[in-house]
């Protein structure tokens, strides 16, 4: 999920966007004004302002198109509009989590033929982002602003614990050992500082749940060759590793610590408040820290997320997702809508300015003059995005249910209610049946 803030770069965006369209030809023959509605999940604030700049620029080169954007973040509302036959022309979904499920029910328009007709070169996009908008081989959206995650660590806390701040862990074993050194427990058993807390920030940063990623980190997978693979032995290992943090300090103590967190990406969240030394999070966290806690911002190190010592090739494993720009079934002007999302997602200048503004990854392979491209910390996320270790949550008719049940199973194990193998075996049974029933 895109979590960003603009830090005065709005002006830069405004100026640079003015240059975007100037080279494009005004290929709009008809004089009739087409009114498009776009529902977007960026919310208000700077992201909305930036989006409006993009829209204004598009309208300038396409005078017969008028686009109105409205922040709509409620899935139920979107579904109601689609089923009621009055959807907007474009939806920015914010995450691809529901894309497969919605596509399977016919809620989204397949874009393959539109793409072909308007000669869209999908080779321009970073493959992982493209994968996130593809369901059963068909394109159901265009990627915009990709996001992934890596290991962010607080160098001050590393120093205080006697660890080398320039030597972040590269194996999961080292990560755990470092994490234990970085954890402080009060006399009454309550935790005051943790080295690493697997569940934090969890879904808040766009993951399905932490276990999704840890499964991949340990070499597992969740869906393969048409089958649910929830109880893959490596997924079990990942869940056991995750649970070991809870067993060491007492599940309830860890849960209490987790629940003491203030809102994510504020100075009260666990990482920004200096109560958590290492976190699995995305590049936008750097931007927010800069705004909220400047003293911390320069002391955040970024590294690829560690891998098990036995599988060093899995270093830098991450989930990757995008903000799918989709056209819902029943949209009034699908052609005009497609022209806009094609322009929006393939224009390098729009991409580089918006990505720099919200600290997300460009969905395009080639983005000249991207101001963050040379930032050594940001680069870690860019490199991860293009590696074989960047994974997309499977796009299935039951994707959402799978994610929610995975989270429930993980919860039950972390709280010590059941074992990893039992929970994942049960998930395997439930989701295999659900997938079968949905076909």
Partner 1 sequence: MDRKGKGFTLLFLSPWLVGFLGFMLLPLLMALYWSFTNFDVLQAPQWVGLQNYVAIMHDATFWTAVRNTLYITVIGVPAGIIVGLGTAMLLEKPITGMGFYRAAIYLPAIVPPVAIAIIWLWILNPDYGLLNAILSVAHIKPLGWLADPYLAKISMLMMVVWGGTGQIMIIMLAGLKDVPMELYEAAMIDGAGWWKKFSRITLPMLGPVIFYNVVVGVIFYLQFFTQAFVVTANNLGAPVNSTLFYALYLYQNAFQFLKMGYAAAMAWILFIVIVTITLALFWINRKVVFYGGGQS
- From the CB of 203, what's the least distance to partner 1, in Å? 5
d(CA 421, CA 231): 7
For partner 1, the closer CB: 290 or 408: 408
Where does this chain bind partner 1 (CB under 8 A)?
Answer: 75-76, 79-80, 82-83, 101-102, 105-107, 188-190, 202-204, 209, 252, 255-260, 262, 329, 398, 400-401, 404, 407-408, 411-412, 415, 417
Nearest CA to 364 among 373, 375, 352, 372?
352
d(CA 217, CA 398): 23
For partner 1, the closer CB: 176 or 430: 430
- From the CB of 202, what's the least distance to partner 1, in Å? 7
- From the CB of 56, what's the least distance to partner 1, in Å? 33
Sheet of strand 65-71, all strands in order from the earlier edge strand to the far edge = 65-71, 34-40, 90-92, 325-326
For partner 1, the closer CB: 160 or 404: 404
- Mapped onto helix, strand or coil, the DSSP state of residue 158 is helix
d(CA 176, CA 330): 51
For partner 1, the closer CB: 61 or 251: 251
- From the CB of 326, what's the least distance to partner 1, in Å? 14
For partner 1, the closer CB: 386 or 419: 419
- From the CB of 262, what's the least distance to partner 1, in Å? 8
- From the CB of 140, what's the least distance to partner 1, in Å? 14
Where do the H-state alpha helices sit in 21-121? 45-61, 75-83, 99-104, 112-117
In terms of DSSP bridges, do strands 147-148 and 138-139 run parallel, antiparallel, or are they unpaired? unpaired
For partner 1, the closer CB: 293 or 302: 293
Which DSSP letter does residue 152 get? E
Report cis status (omega within 30 of 0) of the bond before 201: yes
- From the CB of 17, what's the least distance to partner 1, in Å? 34
For partner 1, the closer CB: 209 or 353: 209
- Work out the end-to-end distance of the chain between its first and last CA atoms, rounded to an integer number of angstroms: 28
Containing H/E element for 431?
helix 420-438
Which DSSP letter does residue 155 get? H
d(CA 13, CA 83): 37
d(CA 426, CA 386): 34
């Amino acid at each position: 999920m895109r979590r960003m803030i603009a830090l005065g770069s709005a002006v830069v965006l405004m100026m640079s966007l003015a240059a975007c369209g100037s080279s494009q030809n005004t290929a709009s023959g008809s004089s009739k004004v087409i009114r498009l509605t776009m529902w977007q999940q960026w919310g208000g604030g700077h992201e909305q302002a930036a989006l409006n700049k993009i829209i204004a620029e598009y309208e300038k080169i396409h005078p017969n198109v008028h686009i109105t954007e409205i922040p709509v973040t409620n899935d139920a509302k979107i579904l109601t509009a689609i089923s009621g036959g009055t959807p907007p022309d474009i939806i920015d979904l914010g995450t691809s989590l529901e894309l497969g499920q919605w596509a399977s029910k016919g809620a989204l328009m397949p874009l393959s033929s539109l793409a072909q007709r308007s000669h869209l070169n999908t080779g321009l996009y970073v493959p992982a982002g493209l994968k996130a908008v593809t369901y059963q081989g068909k394109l159901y959206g265009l990627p915009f602003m990709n996001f992934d995650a890596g290991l962010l660590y607080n160098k001050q806390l590393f120093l205080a614990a006697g660890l080398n701040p320039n030597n972040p862990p590269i194996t999961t074993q080292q990560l755990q050992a470092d994490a234990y050194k970085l954890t402080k427990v009060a006399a009454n058993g309550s935790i005051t500082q943790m080295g690493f807390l697997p569940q934090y920030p969890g879904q808040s940063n766009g993951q399905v749940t932490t276990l999704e990623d840890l499964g991949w980190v340990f070499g597992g997978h969740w869906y393969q060759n048409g089958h649910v693979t929830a109880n893959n032995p490596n997924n079990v290992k990942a869940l056991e590793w995750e649970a070991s943090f809870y067993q060491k300090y007492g599940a309830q103590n860890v849960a209490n610590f987790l629940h003491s967190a203030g809102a994510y990406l504020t100075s009260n969240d666990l990482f920004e408040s200096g109560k958590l030394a290492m976190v699995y999070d995305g590049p936008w966290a750097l931007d927010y820290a800069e705004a909220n806690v400047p003293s911390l911002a320069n002391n955040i190190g970024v590294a690829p997320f560690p891998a098990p010592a036995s599988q060093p090739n899995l270093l830098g494993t991450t989930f990757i997702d995008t903000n799918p720009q989709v056209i819902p079934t029943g949209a009034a002007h699908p052609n005009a809508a497609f022209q806009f999302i094609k322009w929006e997602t393939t224009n390098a200048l729009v991409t580089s300015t918006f990505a720099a503004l919200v600290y997300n990854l460009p969905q395009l392979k080639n983005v000249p003059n991207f101001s963050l491209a040379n930032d050594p910390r940001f680069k870690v996320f860019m490199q991860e995005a293009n590696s074989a270790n960047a994974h997309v949550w499977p796009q299935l008719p039951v994707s959402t249910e799978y994610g929610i049940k995975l989270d429930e199973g993980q919860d039950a194990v972390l709280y010590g209610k059941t074992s990893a193998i039992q929970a994942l075996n049960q998930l395997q049974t439930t989701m295999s049946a659900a997938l079968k029933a949905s076909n």
